[in-house]
């Protein structure tokens, strides 16, 4: 088996990884580090959890150990699709460079331009950025990319999902033709293949096994859910969610609950909190300090349930999650693989439970086709008795009506997926009766002058009386 000491890494890097407790390189590291150190381009087909971050950071640091950065001219560039992933890569850099004097800057949304510019002005060895933010800085004239020697594109498939490929192509064009490129993607969609053919030069291709197929330690199950009434779908589904958490009991030490829609992320987190569960939400619309605080709490174990969208949770490295619960079946089957890969890491046992609603059947079929197995059907934790109005919990959270802007997601949040028109929350949607009431006031048309007074009363007045 390859050892880290066989890999020609800088001794200070070796010291840092030994202190991090790594004993031997993972397959993607053993495959990518040697060609990267030779200055060759690398195409890594691997996903989070395989050790891919170290597979590009360790050789980069070794290569950057010689030389110094000049003002505004970073020597290397790491592009990540989300702020969380960028922040995580930055953390990795700090761990591996702790015995060296390399400087880095993190360019992500939610952090002031001034602060970031001050760091870039001094000169940085490594610039870790989301594509949009990097281009913003470039356009402000504060950043020069002509000294970039190594460029990393991380999670390119996610960049594609989020519409970042034109930005990536532009950034490739702004860096020197002679740069070295380390390119990572979990899958090779035709568009990704095209980019790598255009911008990589004779890359060493390293492919490691997909996590879902590799990890047999994840127990999977699906609960088929049918609401008693369409307008109660949301609240009944949340009852199923609570039932699942309760049924798992102490075995569920912590869980990530995935929702397809940002609105559901908020509603589920609020609902769980109202029912006394230790839960918090994370999605693309929350400000950075809030997201960091929530994530840190979850990592440290002070938060038990993290309700998340795919984008926000993408690439998160939380070493021991006992459960993943899919509040809906994801629209892209690959997202199922990513989601359940949050549990059962590094040989630990994990459980992934999915709630399949009335409109999720097709998506479930696609998932089963991708993973090439049928997910065992689990009994619902909730008896199928129709919920009577009086059974509806008083502290259930109100579902907001969809805001107009929600149908136009920001580019960076595309995969938080906008609501489908057939999937809008309906629980609190006023019926036409409500509109009539406002339009007509107390008058009842067409019954003559001698009207029994109770007929003329509006609903609101009657309830108030
Ligand atoms: P990644 O795929 O880069 O998100 O890495 C997943 C996790 O594996 C991170 O927590 C790393 O710190 C950890 N890791 C990376 N390489 C190794 C290694 N060679 N041995 C043990 N853990 C590692």
Which ligand 1 atom is at minimum distance from the Cα of 346?
Answer: 8
Ligand 1 within 6 A of CB of 175:
no
**Among protein residues, the one whose CA lies closest to atom 20 of ligand 1:** 22
What single-letter DSSP state applies at residue 364? H
**Among protein residues, the one whose CA lies closest to atom 5 of ligand 1:** 51
Q: What is the pLDDT of residue 316?
A: 67
Which ligand 1 atom is at minimum distance from the Cα of 47?
Answer: 2
Q: What is the pLDDT of residue 2?
A: 84
| The length of the chain, given as a count of residues | 465
Q: Is 351 left (phi over 0), alpha (psi -120 to 50) or beta?
A: beta
Q: Which of 44, 54, 86, 211 to mutate to test the pocket of ligand 1 (most atoms within 8 A of CB)?
A: 54
CA of 25 to the centre of ligand 1 (A): 9
Which ligand 1 atom is at minimum distance from the Cα of 22?
Answer: 20
CA of 458 to the centre of ligand 1 (A): 65
CA of 88 to the centre of ligand 1 (A): 12
Question: pLDDT by residue (tens digit) across 142-164?
Answer: 899 999 999 999 999 889 888 99
Ligand 1 within 6 A of CB of 88:
no
Separation CA 453–CA 465 (nearest Å): 14
Closest Cα partner for 180 from 195, 154, 205, 201? 201
Q: What is the pLDDT of residue 321?
A: 86
Three-class DSSP category at 456 = helix
User: Strands 204-207, 180-185: parallel, antiparallel or unpaired by DSSP?
Assistant: unpaired
Q: What is the pLDDT of residue 463?
A: 45
The token pair that represents 381 in the structure block: 């934790």
What is the pTM assigned to this prediction?
0.58
Assess contact for 430 and 409: CB atoms under 8 A: no
Ligand 1 within 6 A of CB of 25:
yes
The token pair that represents 369 in the structure block: 């086709």
Ligand 1 within 6 A of CB of 211:
no
Q: What is the pLDDT of residue 149?
A: 96
User: Strands 279-282, 218-224: parallel, antiparallel or unpaired by DSSP?
Assistant: unpaired
Which ligand 1 atom is at minimum distance from the Cα of 4?
Answer: 19
CA of 141 to the centre of ligand 1 (A): 36
Complete DSSP assignment for 12-55: HHHHHHHHTT--S--HHHHHHHHHHHTT--EEEE--TTSSHHHH
Q: What is the pLDDT of residue 439?
A: 36
pLDDT by residue for the chain (465 residues), tens only, comes to 789 999 999 999 999 999 988 888 988 999 999 999 999 999 999 877 788 999 999 999 999 998 888 999 999 999 999 988 999 999 999 999 999 999 999 999 888 888 899 999 999 999 999 999 999 999 999 899 999 999 999 999 889 888 999 999 999 999 999 999 999 998 888 899 999 999 999 999 998 865 444 356 788 999 999 999 888 999 999 999 999 999 999 999 999 999 999 899 999 999 999 999 999 998 877 777 888 888 889 988 999 999 998 776 665 667 678 999 999 999 888 788 878 877 876 556 789 999 999 899 999 999 988 888 899 999 999 876 544 444 444 445 666 554 444 333 334 433 333 333 333 333 333 333 333 333 333 333 344 444 445 444 544 444 443
Q: What is the pLDDT of residue 332?
A: 82
Domains and CATH numbers, the chain: 4-207 (3.40.50.300), 218-378 (3.40.50.300)
Ligand 1 within 6 A of CB of 137:
no
Give the CA count within 13 Å in the CB-facing half-sphere of 190.
Answer: 0
């Amino acid at each position: 088996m390859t050892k880290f000491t066989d890999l020609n890494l800088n001794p200070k890097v070796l010291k840092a990884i030994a202190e991090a407790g790594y004993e031997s390189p993972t397959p993607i590291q053993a495959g990518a580090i040697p060609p990267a150190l030779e200055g060759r381009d690398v195409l890594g087909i691997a996903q989070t959890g395989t050790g891919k971050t170290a597979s590009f950071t360790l050789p980069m640091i070794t290569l950057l150990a010689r030389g110094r950065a000049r003002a505004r001219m970073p020597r290397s560039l790491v592009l990540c699709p989300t702020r969380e992933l960028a922040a995580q890569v930055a953390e990795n850099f700090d761990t591996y460079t702790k015995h060296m004097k390399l400087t880095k800057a993190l360019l992500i949304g939610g952090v002031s331009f001034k602060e970031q510019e001050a760091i870039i002005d001094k000169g940085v060895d490594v610039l870790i950025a989301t594509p949009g933010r990097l281009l913003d800085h470039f356009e402000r004239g504060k950043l020069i990319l002509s000294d970039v020697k190594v460029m990393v594109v991380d999670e390119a498939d996610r960049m594609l999902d989020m519409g970042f490929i034109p930005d990536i192509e532009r950034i490739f064009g702004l860096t020197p033709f002679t740069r070295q490129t380390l390119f990572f993607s979990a899958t090779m969609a035709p568009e990704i293949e095209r980019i790598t053919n255009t911008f990589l030069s004779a890359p060493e291709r390293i492919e490691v096994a997909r996590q879902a197929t590799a990890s047999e330690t994840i127990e999977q199950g699906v609960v088929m859910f049918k609401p008693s009434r369409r307008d109660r779908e949301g609240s009944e589904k949340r009852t199923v969610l609570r039932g699942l958490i309760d049924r798992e009991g102490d075995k569920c030490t912590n869980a990530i609950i995935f929702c397809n829609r940002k609105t559901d992320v908020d509603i589920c987190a609020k609902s769980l909190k109202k029912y006394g569960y230790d839960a918090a939400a994370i999605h693309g619309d929350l400000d950075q300090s809030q997201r960091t605080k929530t994530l840190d709490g979850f990592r440290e174990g002070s938060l038990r349930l993290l309700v998340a969208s795919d984008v926000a949770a993408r690439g998160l490295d939380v070493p021991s999650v006992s459960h993943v619960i899919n509040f809906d079946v994801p629209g892209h089957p690959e997202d199922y693989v990513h989601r359940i890969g949050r549990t059962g890491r590094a040989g630990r046992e994990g459980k992934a439970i999915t709630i399949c609603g009335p409109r999720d059947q097709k998506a479930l079929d696609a998932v089963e086709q991708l993973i090439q197995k049928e997910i065992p059907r689990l009994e619902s934790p909730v008896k199928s008795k129709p919920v009577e109005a009086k059974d509806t919990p008083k502290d259930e959270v109100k579902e907001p009506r969809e805001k107009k802007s929600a149908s136009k997601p920001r580019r960076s949040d595309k995969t938080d997926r906008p609501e489908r028109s057939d999937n809008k929350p309906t629980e609190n949607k006023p019926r036409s009766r409500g509109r009539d009431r406002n339009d007509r006031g107390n008058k009842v048309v067409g019954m003559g002058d001698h009207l029994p007074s109770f007929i003329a009363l509006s609903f609101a007045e009657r309830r108030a009386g």
